[in-house]
Amino acid sequence: MSSIESVMNETRVFEPAESFKAQANVKGMDGYRALCEQAEKDYEGFWAGLARELLVWKKPFTKVLDESNAPFYKWFDDGEMNVSYNCLDKHLATQPNKIAIIFEADDGKVTKITYKDLYHRVCTFANGLKALGAKKGDRVIIYLPMSIEAVVAMQACARIGAIHSVVFGGFSAKSLHERITDASASLIITADGQFRGGKAMQLKPAVDDALAMGGCECVKKVVVYQRTAGETAWDAQRDVWWHDAVQGQADTCEPEWVNAEHPLFVLYTSGSTGKPKGVQHSSAGFLLHAINTMRWTFDYKDSDIFWCTADVGWITGHTYVTYGPLGIGATQLMFEGVPTYPDAGRFWKMIQDHKITTFYTAPTAIRSLIKLGADLPKQYDLSSLRLLGTVGEPINPEAWMWYYNTVGQTRCPVVDTWWQTETGGHMITPLPGVHGLKPGSCTMALPGIMAAIVDEAGHDVEKGKGGFLVIKRPWPSMIRTIYGDPERYKKNYFPEDLGGKYYLAGDGANCDLDGYFWIMGRIDDVLNVSGHRLGTMEIESALVANPLVAEAAVVGKPHDIKGEAVVAYVVLKGARPEGEDAKKIVADLRNWVAKEIGPIAKPDEIRFGDNLPKTRSGKIMRRLLRALAKGEEITQDVSTLENPAILEQLKEVVK
Ligand code: 6R9
């Protein structure tokens, strides 16, 4: 709490330059207020107007918002459209030869693909998928590295009405298995491997392992894109090379016209229980917000070259790589590799070489790049940049200032965009030609997004007082349900305590006297490690699944680069280990978690105790564990502890 207070004492305000404002898609506070008023006066009319302007409909909608089965809202429900048509076919008449994707491989090789070529690639692959039996409504797991093929695969699913579920390539076979079975997927699209930092890494073995875990009878085919061309284990009945799947297929494919509410994708994210939630999104509402935020937040112009560094395995990659940029007809850069290879200047060199105008990345990347060379950007020509953005976690004012001064050379507004997997697109963010920027604040809600801060009973809190961040009205790109678990959707996001009608974001926030929002972080048991959401329960379940472990508790602790680090308190079934023994078990447990969930979830620290501190009712005292992790003085009442000596044990970090 103290850090947020100091952040909120930030008094610097950076106003947009007149020249930026003059050319902006939303001009000045007047322009912003006019849109907000329009939304307040006629909420449905406001969104309907945007949906007519920005989407192409096969059958126009006549209904806008259906609240009859709240909180299962429906938008534009009697309309018909196709997302892939809106991202590809729509542009064929006006800009067939515009570059859609510039792909830079790990080794620096550049491939460019026009809208027309991408359209044909998507159609051909869509026909290939159909030939393999995929059809409307089927769930398709995509486990691919950053590649043009990843976008082709997602767009091809959208084209035939199949529901994709992309699994980040850094997730383990176990995590993959969990998602395959939860979604009952009939098809998996993967690659033999991927290149990162000059090394070839295998990907398909994780799919093979996942399918060998059982319960995957639903999966009929595995399509494999050949990227690294190494040795690949093969099941001739089940596996098909991508290049064979498209062989002889026609390069046009009539899109499957779907209802506006037809699910476009399910994306798994961490919540406060051990089991990840399948966040389900719609077709029309999702795409509408993706396109409109390209226009408003990123001030999109035809001449822009857009670069969002997120992997397509995360929501940011869905909305601002696969759908938003293509929906609006942009040229964008996609990058296969890592920011540190061949050296820490890679990002800056890419901005220079490709003349990037709009650069969107995560605070954790910014912090690590500062550490690797705060002056490095000065060695490159970054004059093409006109707008910068951040996403994924709160940005500390120091990192913000560096980004603004050193990367943007004080010329580029920084849009600090607050949103979530569940919201589909930006929610609270500066508009670059509108808001004066305060480092560390995501400023104000977009027009039509009714964000507010409330107390436990759902009442608005006064400005300057913290509370729960909620969205008071449904919006088009919101989550529709948790796949296969509508009850959990209702309970989690529309709790009765708040009257059951506000969307509860799960973040604590503050609104200052100027009406600027400041995000304080999660209020549930969700950690934000390098901008990735991880449930503490998920990591705990992984740890206790290890035969050596009796009990485990996981908390976060502030970390300079990652934002938060994972600290695990572990009680073994045997005696508390010491010395070399302890070191070996720590290494084993970290690898174990990497296997169970993925390397991103590896605990940074493991501490062993004879027991965990618990209340009389047996609840783990997490606040105490958080204080211990931070190395703070213990001021809490610990009189209920059976064995106070364990506090000393739990202070000890095994290095
Ligand atoms: C898009 C994305 C969502 C959680 C969210 C919040 C944190 C995201 C932020 C931010 C402060 C920002 N978060 N953007 N916190 N300022 N600009 O990251 O989705 O992976 O679902 O994470 O990330 O805590 O609740 P997701």
110 domain residue, yes or no: no
**Are 505 and 540 in the same domain?**
no
CA of 93 to the centre of ligand 1 (A): 37
**Are 637 and 540 in the same domain?**
yes
Q: Which residues does the annotation place in the binding site?
A: 196-199, 316, 392-394, 416-421, 507, 522, 530, 533, 544, 549
Return the structure tokens found at 642.
């059976």
CA of 37 to the centre of ligand 1 (A): 27
Binding site membership of 417 for ligand 1 (Cβ less than 6 Å)? yes
Q: Which of 309, 323, 420, 446 to mutate to test the pocket of ligand 1 (most atoms within 8 A of CB)?
A: 420
**In this structure, which long-range contacts are made by residues 244-249, counting pairs with CB atoms below 8 Å and at least 24 apart in sequence?**
245/125, 245/128, 245/129, 245/131, 245/132, 246/124, 246/125, 246/127, 246/128, 249/124, 249/125, 249/127, 249/128, 249/131
Contact 478, 47 (CB under 8 A): no
CATH number at residue 464: 2.30.38.10
460 domain residue, yes or no: yes
Candidates 252, 348, 261; CA nearest to 309 is 348
Binding site membership of 278 for ligand 1 (Cβ less than 6 Å)? no
292 domain residue, yes or no: no
CA of 392 to the centre of ligand 1 (A): 4
Q: Which of 393, 492, 524 to mutate to test the pocket of ligand 1 (most atoms within 8 A of CB)?
A: 393
CA of 522 to the centre of ligand 1 (A): 9
CA of 420 to the centre of ligand 1 (A): 5
Residue where a domain stops, chosen among 462, 490, 522: 522
CA of 119 to the centre of ligand 1 (A): 32
Q: Which residues touch 563 (CB under 8 Å, ≥6 apart)?
A: 363, 364, 393, 394, 528, 529, 530, 531
458 or 645, which is more confident: 458
Binding site membership of 564 for ligand 1 (Cβ less than 6 Å)? no
CA of 546 to the centre of ligand 1 (A): 31
626 domain residue, yes or no: yes
Residue where a domain stops, chosen among 489, 506, 522: 522
Candidates 89, 161, 157; CA nearest to 126 is 157
Which residue range is the domain that position 558 belongs to? 530-651
Binding site membership of 420 for ligand 1 (Cβ less than 6 Å)? yes
Binding site membership of 392 for ligand 1 (Cβ less than 6 Å)? yes
Q: Which of 265, 391, 403 to mutate to test the pocket of ligand 1 (most atoms within 8 A of CB)?
A: 391
CATH number at residue 630: 3.30.300.30
Question: What's the mean pLDDT in 260-271?
Answer: 95
Contact 278, 182 (CB under 8 A): yes
CA of 349 to the centre of ligand 1 (A): 28
Binding site membership of 391 for ligand 1 (Cβ less than 6 Å)? yes
Binding site membership of 507 for ligand 1 (Cβ less than 6 Å)? yes
Residue-wise pLDDT tens digits, 171-219: 999 999 999 999 999 999 999 999 999 999 999 999 999 999 999 999 9
Binding site membership of 186 for ligand 1 (Cβ less than 6 Å)? no
Q: For residue 67, is pLDDT > 90?
A: yes
**Are 575 and 518 in the same domain?**
no
**Are 517 and 535 in the same domain?**
no
**Are 643 and 534 in the same domain?**
yes
For atom 10 of ligand 1, the residue with the nearest CA is: 393
Four-residue CA torsion sign, 347, 424, 526, 503: positive
Looking at 48-109, which runs of residues are DSSP E strands?
A: 65-66, 74-75, 80-81, 99-104
25 domain residue, yes or no: no
Count the domains in the chain: 2
- CA within 13 Å, CB half, 343: 6
Four-residue CA torsion sign, 196, 197, 200, 206: negative
Residue where a domain stops, chosen among 473, 505, 522: 522
Binding site membership of 293 for ligand 1 (Cβ less than 6 Å)? no
Q: For residue 1, is pLDDT > 50?
A: no
**Are 538 and 502 in the same domain?**
no
**Are 573 and 600 in the same domain?**
yes
Candidates 489, 566, 487; CA nearest to 525 is 566
For atom 6 of ligand 1, the residue with the nearest CA is: 393
The pLDDT, as a whole number, for residue 83 is: 99
Residue-wise pLDDT tens digits, 519-573: 988 888 899 999 898 989 899 989 999 999 998 999 999 999 999 999 999 999 9
For atom 19 of ligand 1, the residue with the nearest CA is: 420
Q: Which residues does the annotation place in the binding site for ATP?
A: 392-394, 416-421, 507, 522, 533
503 domain residue, yes or no: yes
Percentage of residues in the chain having pLDDT higher than 70: 98
Q: Fill in the amino acid letter for 245.
A: A
DSSP state of 542: H
Burial class (CB in 10 A: 0-12, 13-18, 19+), 125: buried
Binding site membership of 311 for ligand 1 (Cβ less than 6 Å)? no
Residue-wise pLDDT tens digits, 3-62: 445 556 678 999 999 999 999 999 999 999 999 999 999 999 999 999 999 999 999 999
Binding site membership of 477 for ligand 1 (Cβ less than 6 Å)? no
**Are 551 and 627 in the same domain?**
yes
**Are 626 and 553 in the same domain?**
yes
Q: Which of 315, 395, 471, 528 to mutate to test the pocket of ligand 1 (most atoms within 8 A of CB)?
A: 528
The sheet that has 549-559: what strands, in order across it? 549-559, 563-572, 605-608
**Are 647 and 541 in the same domain?**
yes
Cα separation, 633 vs 331, whole angstroms: 53
Binding site membership of 419 for ligand 1 (Cβ less than 6 Å)? yes
The complex's ipTM works out to: 1.00
Chain center to CA of 637? 39
> 505 falls in which pLDDT band (50, 70, 90)?
very high
Cα separation, 117 vs 373, whole angstroms: 39
For atom 17 of ligand 1, the residue with the nearest CA is: 418
What pairs with residue 391 in β-bridges?
Answer: 417
**Are 537 and 641 in the same domain?**
yes
For atom 1 of ligand 1, the residue with the nearest CA is: 420
CA of 316 to the centre of ligand 1 (A): 10
**Are 573 and 462 in the same domain?**
no
Binding site membership of 522 for ligand 1 (Cβ less than 6 Å)? yes
Looking at 187-276, which runs of residues are DSSP E strands?
A: 187-191, 193-196, 199-202, 221-225, 239-241, 258-259, 265-269
205 domain residue, yes or no: no
CA of 351 to the centre of ligand 1 (A): 25
Residue-wise pLDDT tens digits, 280-302: 999 999 999 999 999 999 999 99
CA of 215 to the centre of ligand 1 (A): 33
Question: What's the mean pLDDT in 241-255?
Answer: 98
- Mean of per-residue pLDDT scores for the chain: 95
Q: For residue 654, is pLDDT > 80?
A: yes
Residue-wise pLDDT tens digits, 627-639: 999 998 887 777 7
The pLDDT, as a whole number, for residue 8 is: 62
pTM over 0.80: yes
Q: Which residues does the annotation place in the binding site for Mg(2+)?
A: 544, 549
459 domain residue, yes or no: yes
